[in-house]
Structures are given as C-alpha cells and as structure tokens.
Structure 1
C-alpha cells in the first residue's frame, strides 16, 4: 500500500500563501483584483497570479463575468459550515399567522455562507427536499433569492439540469431571471421542479445593513402560482418585513 505523499520544504509555504489569498478575497469582497491582493499581501504579482489561477481552476475562486476581479467559488462556500437556526417564539408567531392567512404551503429558508437551509418547512404541506434545494437552487424560488445575491451565480451552481419541460437551464435565460429577481425582490418558479407545483418567494433582509438572511415562500399549484397574485405577494412582503428584525 502506498503511503502518504511527503511534503517538500516549499509546499507548506505555498499552501499558506493560497490560504492568505482566499482570506484576502473574503475580506475585500467580490471584485477584488489581482493587483489589490498582491499589494495587500506584499506578495509578488507573479506568485499572486499563479495562486489565483490555481484557485480558479479548483473552483475555490471565480473570475467575475466582466473579468474585473475575483469572488469566492462553489468549493470555498463548502469550507464554512452553514449556520443552523430555529425560529424564536416571536418569529414562529409571524409564520403561524402567515399560514393561517392562506391555504398554501409556507416555507422559511435561511441563507449563510452561500448556502441555503430549509429551517421551517410547512408541517401540513409537502416541502422541497433539502438536499435538492441546496444542490439545484436555480429550480426553486427560494434558491433564486440566494443566487440573485451573488456576484456570479455560477459559483454556487455545479450542475444545471432540466427537471421538467419548463425548467430554465440556459445561462442567458437564468441571467435574465436572476437579474429580475434582484430588481424586483421577488422570485417565482412555475412547474420547473415538479410539473404540478410552483412557488413565490421574497427575501428577508437585515433592517440595518440590508443583508440577505432568509427567505419566505408560498408554494401551491402551478396554475395558481402563475397568476399575478398581487394580494398574495403583498401578504408575503408584509410578513417578511415583520420577520426581518426577528431573524437578522
């Protein structure tokens, strides 16, 4: 049996340098440039570029679509454990009130470290499978809230596949869809994961910094979800606003 590959004298330093570059991207935020990283870390530009190219190839970083800088990639998001949370008593009362106002399913999701967790699925209605929601966020309204927040949504999506004839899978169409979500503060999908089901979701943001912390969704029959549903959307937004100070 082959034993572990020994590290050379230079490899630990290279690993530390790569970790420093990752930390700098986290600290600086999406769009930080190679030059800025090099200057901040007092690292030779040639070394910085070499490390950045390696981290992009391994999907720990991504280049932004306009090539203006770098952002965390899919694999970097997996390095952080998602924060687990439960609804406190006040938040539970708001969600229960929402459920009492409609016969549709009401689900609440939590967003942390580029990941999505279903923290309060409706106990009286079928809920999305948690693993599928996390793996294929583009096919769910709650997942689209998360993707619309990213500098490059491709960093969080490893596998794009159709689940029904309605599933949006082309990059250009997903780009348009997610830009509309970011603009309107509203995500919708009609029969894209299951032919007979759809959902509408709105974000829950921190009152002070506007940070996306959670989302609340209504799920129901596809035909009903496709309707304008102005009253339902207002109901969602009102309850999201009430939840914001309780979850931020």
Structure 2
C-alpha cells in the first residue's frame, strides 16, 4: 500500500481514529494522550492531531482537568443506534400470545430518530427483506407508518430519493404524501408488493395516549392473503394498545 496517496492517507487516519476510540473505550474516562501513544505505538504528533479532530467532531470530550479524554455523545449515538432495544418480558409474552392467535408473521418494530428497527422478529417467520425495510422507508408498511408521523417525511429518506424496488413501489413524492395522509386518517399502514413482489404487510402504531407512536406491530404474509391479514386489524390494534405501556 502506498501511504503517500491522498486516499490512503485518509484511510490511515480513519483507521487510527477508530483505534483511538477503541482504546479510550477500553481504558475508560481520563485516558491521556500518552496512554494512547504508548498503547498504540503511535507518534505523538499523529495522536494529538487525531485527538483534536475527534474532540472537534464531538466523538471525544476532554475531562474537566483537561488532562484526559472520554467518549463523546457522537459515539454514544452510534452505540444506541446499533443496539437492539430492550424488550421487557411482559411485552415478549404478549407478542407470543398474539402470534399464537394468527398464522401470519408478527414483528415488533421500533421507531428511531430517523429510522426504524425490527426489535423482535417472528422466530417462525423471519423477515425476508429486513435490510430493505429499514433502509427504504417509503416501501414498507412500518416505514410509511413512521414517515406519516414526521413533520417533514422526505427528510428521513436517504438523499430524499424514492428507490423503485418493485413495479408497485411508490417513487413519486406527491403520491407518497397522499398515501401518508391516508395512513394518518385510518391510523394504520399497508404495503402490497411494494417492498418485495408477492409479499404484503399491515402495520398498526404502538403509542401511549397523547404521545406519538414509538413503534409498530406488523403482520406480514403473501400478497394473496392481504384480506385475511386485514381481518386481524382489530386484534392487532388491541395488542398494540396493550404493548404500548410495556414498551414506552
């Protein structure tokens, strides 16, 4: 590898920055620049330059005595975004009870600041398009339900683009906005062949009274079973109402 090339210098700085963050996470608050240079055998000039940059970007903060460093809120944001939400036992039991009442897949989805996450997937019917569901919010029932709660829905979409995943995926902003308005009126969302051909999903909001939804209870299956899935709407809404105080 030729480290003299600009792209390689950037790669080296990125790798060393992650090594510094890992070291401070392991050594704990108050880790000093000398601790970094000794642990990583890193030149002091490199360590100081990267430490200052990490502080400037709020990945690190200085300790009150200004002698050491600790992890900043930018790092804790990554950790919380990547961690699976904790599901109380009572909520898990309720989910299992509801799953026993339907032959369809039942998933618990939680809403993050700008995304959604499957917090508890049906072990008997694992989601087939989990990555696409979380990335392309405009194409899934849970994603559209999440977008319908946002003041500026398109701001939560990747680069404000509506990617076409199937022939039925909504790719027009006005059409999506119209769909989101209907979701708000009826208080549930449906996708039919939009995320994956031959698959459909119903998503009902999970919310405590007076608060915006913190997640969704989703029922999924094959597209020809949509009417059968719709027949579970009332029971799904009742289950969501029971889940809300256990989760949020």
Task: Name the TM tier (shorter chain).
Answer: 0.5 to 0.7
* Contact map agreement 2:149 2:212 (CA 8 A) in 1: no
User: Number of paired residues?
Assistant: 178
SS at match of 1:95: helix
* Contact map agreement 2:220 2:229 (CA 8 A) in 1: no
Q: 1:101 to 1:149 in 2, by over 3 A?
A: same
1: CA distance, partners of 2:152 / 2:186? 18
SS at match of 2:236: helix
2: CA distance, partners of 1:247 / 1:114? 19
Identify the residue that residue 111 of structure 2 maps to in structure 1: 111
* Contact map agreement 1:80 1:113 (CA 8 A) in 2: no
Q: How far apart are 1:145 and its partner, in Å?
A: 1.2
What TM-score do you get using the length of structure 2 for normalisation? 0.65
SS at match of 1:192: coil
Q: How far apart are 1:190 and its partner, in Å?
A: 0.7
- Between Structure 1 and Structure 2, whose CA radius of gyration is higher? 2
SS at match of 1:210: coil
Aligned-pair Cα RMSD in Å: 2.6
Q: How far apart are 1:229 and its partner, in Å?
A: 5.3
Identify the residue that residue 183 of structure 1 maps to in structure 2: 185
SS at match of 1:101: coil
Identify the residue that residue 156 of structure 2 maps to in structure 1: 156
What TM-score do you get using the length of structure 1 for normalisation? 0.65
The one-character-per-residue Cα deviations of 1:142-199 (angstroms, maximum 9, x if unpaired) are 1111100111111011231212111111111100101111121100011112211100
2: CA distance, partners of 1:212 / 1:80? 23
Identify the residue that residue 91 of structure 1 maps to in structure 2: 91
2: CA distance, partners of 1:128 / 1:211? 28
Aligned counterpart for 1:166 among listed residues 165, 168, 185: 168
Q: 1:172 to 1:214 in 2, by over 3 A?
A: same
**Larger displacement relative to structure 2 (81-90 or 158-167):** 81-90
Q: How far apart are 1:131 and its partner, in Å?
A: 2.6
The one-character-per-residue Cα deviations of 1:44-87 (angstroms, maximum 9, x if unpaired) are xxxxxxxxxxxxxxxxxxxxxxxxxxxxxxxxxx8794364132
1: CA distance, partners of 2:221 / 2:86? 24
Q: How far apart are 1:211 and its partner, in Å?
A: 2.3
Identify the residue that residue 212 of structure 1 maps to in structure 2: 213
Identify the residue that residue 143 of structure 2 maps to in structure 1: 143
